[in-house]
């Protein structure tokens, strides 16, 4: 089956620190990979995506590279801000599952000034 | 453009009462998803529809939960009777066929349900 595993939080950082959130997956078929972000009191929103091996998704200073050989899609940001405090979800989809997404458990990130 | 609309945003009810949550997907989207989020269990997919037809309801916790989609612009999630363990934030999301390989889902703001 399809599954996504991401590091448990919370992750607490100081402003301007480097952030990495690990994500690995198993999938039947060739998945597309996503990172969603959930700010306090809101629904999830798409942060970035990658659809094939070696693709790099990027948005708002965040990056993630689709690594097929290690089945990973780690999220990174070089210098976090307080406004990046949120819960981050790694997710995948495969064509056979239509538009259904398989989500990881989420990682809470807290950035302190 | 209007995003996914959910109502009510907050619901407080007493155990045993019927609760109905409502969702209006983005116009033109043909997939609709209902999720539940709790601290203990994280984000869970309850049920999803394609072209108003339920495709997978394996995540619906028990018979007290039911979902309908009478037309392309409206869906309901009903809990009858409600129990305190149903307290959670319920999200609705929609997406569009042909969005693959992106399959981006657009989430509503959620309904926070508290069952006393």
Q: Nearest CA of chain A to the CA of B110: how many Å?
A: 6
Determine the pLDDT at residue B1.
65
Q: Are the C-beta atoms of B75 and B92 separated by less than 8 Å?
A: yes
Q: Quick check: A44 contacting B, CB < 8 Å?
A: yes
Q: What is the band of A96 on the pLDDT scale with cuts at 50, 70, 90?
A: confident
Answer yes or no: are the C-beta atoms of A61 and A52 closer than 8 Å. no
Grade residue B8 by pLDDT with cuts at 50, 70 and 90. very high
DSSP string, B20-39: EEEEEPPTT--EEEEEEEET
pLDDT tens across B91-115, in order? 999 998 866 556 688 999 999 999 9
Residue from A64, A72, A54, A69 nearest A6 by CA: A72
pLDDT at position A9: 86
The DSSP output letter for A72 is B
Give kind and range of the element (H or E) at residue B89.
strand B88-95
Element (H, E) at A12: strand A11-14
Contact B108 A43 (CB under 8 A): yes
**DSSP SS3 for A37:** strand
Query: Which residues are within 8 A (CB) of A31 and not within 5 positions of it... i.e. 6 or more apart?
Result: A2, A25, A92, A93, A94
| Most confident segment among A20-24, A48-52, B94-98 | A20-24
Of the candidates A88, A89, A87, A92, which has an alpha carbon nearest to the alpha carbon of residue A71?
Answer: A92
Query: What string of DSSP letters covers A42-57?
Result: S-EEEEEEE-STT-EE
Name the band, by pLDDT with cuts 50, 70 and 90, for residue B2.
confident
Sequence-separated (6 or more) residues with CB below 8 Å from residue B51 = B30, B72
Whether B100 and A93 lie within 8 Å, measured CB to CB: yes
Question: Is A45 near chain B, with CB under 8 Å?
Answer: yes
Angstrom distances, CA of residue B93 to CA of A96, A109, B43, B114? 19, 23, 13, 21
Q: Please name the residue of chain B whose CA is at the shortest distance from the CA of residue A43.
A: B109
């Amino acid at each position: 089956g399809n599954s996504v595993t991401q590091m448990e939080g919370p992750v607490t950082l100081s402003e301007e620190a480097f952030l990495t959130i690990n994500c690995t997956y198993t999938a039947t078929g060739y998945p597309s990979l996503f990172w969603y972000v959930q700010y306090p009191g809101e629904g999830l929103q798409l942060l970035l995506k990658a659809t094939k091996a070696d693709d790099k998704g990027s948005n708002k200073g965040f990056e993630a590279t689709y690594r097929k050989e290690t089945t990973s899609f780690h999220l990174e940001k070089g210098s976090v801000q307080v406004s990046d405090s949120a819960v981050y979800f790694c997710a995948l989809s495969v064509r056979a599952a239509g538009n259904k997404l398989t989500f990881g458990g989420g990682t809470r990130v807290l950035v302190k000034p | 453009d209007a995003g996914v609309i959910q109502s009510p945003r907050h619901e407080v009810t007493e155990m045993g009462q019927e609760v109905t949550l409502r969702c209006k997907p983005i116009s033109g989207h043909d997939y609709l998803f209902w999720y539940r989020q709790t601290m203990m269990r994280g984000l869970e997919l309850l049920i999803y529809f394609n072209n108003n037809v339920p495709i997978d309801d394996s995540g619906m916790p028990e018979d007290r939960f039911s979902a309908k989609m009478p037309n392309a612009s409206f869906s309901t999630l009903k809990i009858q009777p409600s129990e305190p363990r149903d307290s959670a934030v319920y999200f609705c999301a929609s997406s569009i066929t042909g969005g693959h390989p992106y399959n981006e889902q657009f989430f509503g703001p959620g309904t926070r349900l508290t069952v006393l």
